[in-house]
Chain A
Amino acid sequence: MNNNNRASEHVMQESAILALENVIYSYPDSSTILSIDHWTLNVNDAVFLHGRSGLGKSTLISLLAGLTVPNAGTVKVKDVDLYSLSTSQRDAFRAKHIGIVYQQFNLIPYLSVLDNVLIAASLAKQYKPSTRQYACDLLAEMNLPTDVLHRSADQLSIGQQQRVAIARALINQPDLLLVDEPTSALDSENRDAFMDMLMNILRQHGGALVFVSHDKTLASRFDHVLDLASLNAVDKVS
């Protein structure tokens, strides 16, 4: 796994979509949970980040998304240092360039499926006349029947909700897709179908993927597999 890490380091620097340098994150009670010396990810790379729960996987996603400010270090996405931006600039950057899918409860329960996708375009100020059609296409690609588009999100099954979340994360054609344990609430059948669709849609639309999970059986679908423990200097020490 370290090989994979090193392999991506040696690829040309300008094609790096994500670059972390000396990133440290501590809880307010000052216990350090994440310490990453160096990590890069290339354009169109899909990396499976494996780690047990409680090791800071979700915190890492938050750091990469520009939601949680690290205590030290730089996080660069597309060569932009996220934490040198102001909060609102960072919000705008995230809206445009980063798509996020969480473990569960990704959707706003009282909005329709279509509005849940469209609001992402609207918040990124990317709403064009063609956006509505594009959203419908994405939802269709994620195998969502047209009759659910106008249903409110909380009427969908969890598997369907997760698929809507993927469509929404892709609506602004992001450069980086962050996915945090998206299958943990799905049964094995749904999980496989979901993974098939995710990998398929990613292949078509492009973009780098950071996929975080504790479920090692999914690792085989990825070119790059990385253990969070090997990345995180805090774990190496302990």
Chain B
Amino acid sequence: MKIRGHFLLLKTAWRSLLYRKSAVVMAILSVAMSVYVLLGVEHIRKEARSNFTNTISGVDLIAGPRTGQINLLLYSVFRMGTPTNNISWQSFQAMVEHPNVNWAIPISLGDSHKGFRVVGTNQSFFKHFRYGSGYSLAIEEGVEFTGVMDVVLGAKVARELAYALGDKVILAHGIAKNSFALHKDRPFNVVGVLKSTGTPVDNALYVSLEGIEAIHKNWQGGVQLGKSQSPLAQQDTADLTPKSVTAAMLGLNSKLATFKVQRWINNYNKEPLIAILPGVVLVELWQMMGKIEKILMLVSSLIFVSALFGIAAMLLSSMRERKRELLILRSLGASPLMNYWLLSCEALLITLLGSLIAVVFLLSSILIVNNLFSTALGMSFSFNLWSVSNGIIFLMMIVSVFLICLIPAVKIYREIKRT
């Protein structure tokens, strides 16, 4: 009998919603809209964060000339800002030979091509660099560079400049977009294009350290000295061993050695060096940009509050007609608490339906965005909307609905008491 009673209460709530169809549909859509924006903003915030902190992975230490930690991270990983100094090739070799160092990726910066940075490195970059949750780099077409004058393009570079394999690329000295100091005499040959990673890797051109050395052979202090000799003839004979690199990414044999190697680099006595843990500094950097995150969270919470006001407005505006029904139920022996449950049931149904619509919409939006814009955005969104904070938001919403329903329920209770 009890089951039948609860069933009738639910049925009454459901029928009552159907009776007020148009107002209820509007309320459901307003909840759906708010939840959609709320979850959407939260999702973008989280995905942006994880995309950011996943820019690099598997690299235990980044070593560079003594500078700010964040500065080193910015130019070595994000190719932002300018390196102030280099580390000598001897120091880099010392790192490679350190017993705890498994591999080392040299990075040599300073040149650019049409606004994109050029990175001088070696094969270990393709072999050891990781991003996201441990993905390695892959070649979309062509091969990794082998010759001195070979260049491999990041996905975005290839796309934006519409380069194909075999194209000739002339590098500019310095990083200005419209540099006049071009390495015209030594064009590079496009031999490969990397697959899109959604990280700053896409925004650069990759050449060998020897290539960097070759184009600077007759340069000094940023100025070309005289005409260069026939490139090929010289390259074959000249010593192209680099004199310096800008930074080095290190992979260690054991994570346990991280601090030991870091200390060794920081105390390196032949030149002033610094080693950073990229993961730690990435998080620090993100926290520096925390303002953006806080603004997004503020927007989210305002939307959340507006959604609750929407539900409250719907409930209160229907109260004049509801009053009669609730009085009828009271005269039939329904307790004020039961009237409250009835109102809560309805508001809850509205909230759940609205949230369901919002989630379906959001998932389809992610599907569309991932399919159409993921290459342009350089990131793709995960379909997993579940997170602890979203769970908390949802719980808070349910609790708020119950609290909001108190307002009309108490109002009705008082009015019936007074008649």
Same complex origin of A and B: yes
For the complex, give the distance between the alpha carbons of A214 and B419 in Å.
20
In the assembled complex, the Cα of A127 lies from the Cα of B1 at a distance in Å of: 6
Partner of A107, one of B12, B16, B328, B338: B328
**A119 within 8 A of partner (CB):** yes
A102: chain B residues at CB < 8 Å are: 331
Are the CB atoms of A91 and B1 closer together than 8 Å? no
Please, which residue of chain A has its CB at the minimum distance from the CB of B321? A109
With beta carbons under 8 angstroms apart, the residue of B324, B332, B337, B419 that contacts A119 is: B332
Q: Contact between A69 and B12 (Cβ–Cβ < 8 Å)? A: no
How distant is the Cα of A161 from the Cα of B325 in the complex, in angstroms?
A: 14
> Any chain B CB within 8 A of the CB of A113?
no
Beta-carbon contact of B335 and A67 below 8 Å: no
Q: Does A185 contact B (CB under 8 A)?
A: no
Q: For residues 1 through 21 of chain B, which have their beta carbon under 8 Å from a beta carbon of chain A?
A: 1-2, 4-5, 8, 11-12, 15-16, 18-19
Query: Across the interface, do A127 and B15 meet the contact criterion of CB distance under 8 Å?
Result: no
Q: Tell me the dominant secondary structure on chain B's binding face.
A: helix
Most buried by B among A102, A109, A119, A128: A119
Complex interface: chain B residues within 8 A of A125 (CB): 1-2, 5
A153 vs chain B, min Cβ distance (A): 10
CB distance from B187 to the nearest CB of A (A): 79
Could you mark each residue 108-119 of chain A with 1 if its beta carbon is under 8 Å from any beta carbon of chain B, else 0? 111100010011
B114 contacts chain A at the CB level, 8 A cutoff = no
Residue in A65, A105, A111, A118 whose beta carbon sits within 8 Å of that of B324 in the complex = A105
8 Å CB contact of B335 from A91, A96, A105, A168: A91
Task: Give A233 to B368 CA distance when docked, in angstroms.
Answer: 77
Q: Check A100 against B331 for contact (C-beta < 8 Å).
A: yes
User: In whole angstroms, what is the CA distance A168 to B332 when docked?
Assistant: 9
Known: A94-B331, A111-B15, A123-B333. A68 touches B417 (CB 8 A): yes
Chain B residues, Cβ within 8 Å of A91 = 330, 333-336
| Complex partner residue of A106 from B8, B18, B328, B416, CB under 8 angstroms | B328
Q: Which of A58-116 contact B (CB under 8 A)?
A: 58-59, 62, 65, 67-69, 87-88, 91-96, 100, 102, 105-111, 115
A88→B1 contact, CB < 8 A: no
Contact of B419 among A62, A93, A118, A123 (CB under 8 A): A62
The reply to whether A67 and B334 contact each other, CB–CB distance below 8 Å, is no
Q: Are A94 and B333 in contact (CB under 8 A)?
A: yes
CB distance from B319 to the nearest CB of A (A): 15
Q: With A and B bound together, what is the CA distance between A67 and B417 in angstroms?
A: 6
Task: Say yes or no: is A202 at the interface (Cβ < 8 Å to chain B).
Answer: no
Give the residue name and chain of the B residue nearest to A92 (CB): B333
Given A107-B328, A125-B5, A128-B1, A88 and B15 contact (CB-CB distance below 8 Å): no
Q: How far is the CB of B8 from chain A (nearest CB, A)?
A: 5
B329 in the interface, Cβ–Cβ < 8 Å? Answer: yes
Q: Which residues from A are CB-within-8-Å of B1?
A: 122, 125, 127-128
Q: How far is the CB of B416 from chain A (nearest CB, A)?
A: 6
Interface contact A95-B333, CB-CB below 8 Å: yes
Q: Verify if A124 is at the interface (C-beta below 8 Å from B).
A: yes
A54 within 8 A of B: no
Can you name 6 A-B residue pairings with CB atoms under 8 Å? A105-B328, A108-B12, A110-B15, A111-B11, A111-B12, A119-B8
